[in-house]
Structure 1
Amino acid sequence: MNKSYSKAERTRNFIIESTAEVFNKKGYAGTSLTDLTKATGLTKGSIYGNFENKEEVALAVFDYNCSRVAGLTAKKIREATTCYDKLMCYAGVYRTVTKETMSRGGCPILNTATEADDTNCLLRDKAAGAVRHWEGTLVSIINQGVLNGEFKKDINSRQVSLSIVALIEGGIMISKVTGDLTSMDSILKTVELFIEQLKS
């Protein structure tokens, strides 16, 4: 059954989707109201009739940008039959989407965390929440893998999870700043080797 949206919801979604790449490339501080009206073709009144302010648009856009990769990863994880394969999904998905992610301005978590570190608590908290959710998902997969006998019993699942997140986010940062996508591939191979070493 298809979900039906009200006109207001459709307009909000249109604004979010239309400005997603702008915010990701320019950041919150660098994105102006003119950028928003240009990206959407809407007036200032139309935008602020659906969002209280620019910050509210940015928060909604962050969720949308994160959901693009997270949704694809979640789909691959659901299709995987072992915990080992579920972890490997991360390397596979990021290897597939890195080029598109770069063309859209990079990783929204990394971009937002860097920009909003001390300047915008709401955006910083969004980025922190995304990292914690990612970490939690990995911890759950690893713990289940230990229970299943797939992974070694003495694994520190939180340490491993944070290391995987750090490797992937670091790979995105290095690829973006150098413009060299092969850097990401090399780091993803390290992620795969790391996961391989978890096997019992």
Structure 2
Amino acid sequence: MTKGEETRQRIVELAAPLFNQRGYAGCSVADIMEATGLEKGGIYRYFGSKEDLAAEAFKFSVAEIRKLRTDDLDGVPGAIGKLRYIMDRFVSEPSPMKGGCPLMNTAIDSDDGNAALRDLARDAFADWRRRMAAIIRQGIRDGDISKSTDPAELADTIIASLEGALMLTRLDGNKRALKHVRQSMVLLLTAHST
């Protein structure tokens, strides 16, 4: 990695928690300058706009979350085991990014404004949905999950339940809702297993 690439990556890594905590509108270039120690021109040398930097920061944040929650997934046997592993990691491993889940934060923050960030959030959720549905389809093929299960429906239910519980967890200041949802999702998976 060249020195320029390292600087660019450092800017992304330092800006990511700022955007995640404050949102796009709430994070100023001055905030990024303070966090990175760079002047405005130094930042814009690597990024064409604040929106470009926010997009890269979001992609970085999502990659970090995905790595945290799905590392070692290949070593987990069976589709039900993989789904439970993902849910357990979601409940037990908080976001490494200050401010919580970048998917939820960006989806909410960009809903009324930034179309580029909204598209990135939508794409990230679609990717998560595809990966979950692929596990479910494999479970159907392997005979672990009932053939009557709709993979997209079950994936959406799990994702929406986890993200909703995460929102309640943040509001309540404890993990009760996440633990309740994990228990309910285990029952749901049991109902879908063969």
Q: Shorter-chain-normalised TM-score: which range?
A: over 0.9
Q: Distance in 1 between matches of 2:76 and 2:37?
A: 42
Alignment of 1:93 with 2:89, yes or no, is yes
Alignment of 1:10 with 2:2, yes or no, is no
TM-score w.r.t. the length of structure 1 is: 0.92
Alignment of 1:111 with 2:105, yes or no, is yes
Runs of 4+ with deviation above 4 angstroms: none
Q: Distance in 1 between matches of 2:87 and 2:72?
A: 11
Q: Distance in 2 between matches of 1:21 and 1:193?
A: 35
CA-based RMSD of the aligned residues comes to 1.3
Q: 2:144 aligns with which of 120, 143, 150?
A: 150
Aligned partner of residue 197 in structure 1, secondary structure: helix
Q: Give the letter aligned to residue 166 of structure 2.
A: I
How far the C-alpha of 1:14 sits from its partner, in A, is: 0.2
Q: Which deviations, in whole Å up to 9, do the C-alpha atoms of 1:91-119 show, x marking residues without a partner?
A: 12112222x55x71111111111111131
Q: 1:53 aligns with which of 35, 46, 49?
A: 49
Q: Which deviations, in whole Å up to 9, do the C-alpha atoms of 1:55-86 show, x marking residues without a partner?
A: 11110111111111211233232111211111
Q: Distance in 2 between matches of 1:70 and 1:46?
A: 30
- In structure 2, the residue matched to 1:194 is 188
How far the C-alpha of 1:127 sits from its partner, in A, is: 0.4
TM-score w.r.t. the length of structure 2 is: 0.95
Unaligned 5+ residue runs, structure 1?
none
- In structure 2, the residue matched to 1:185 is 179
Alignment of 1:168 with 2:159, yes or no, is no
- In structure 1, the residue matched to 2:16 is 20
- In structure 2, the residue matched to 1:74 is 70
- In structure 1, the residue matched to 2:26 is 30
**Equivalent pair of 2:69/2:93 in contact (CA under 8 Å):** no
Q: Give the letter aligned to residue 82 of structure 1.
A: G
Unaligned 5+ residue runs, structure 2?
none
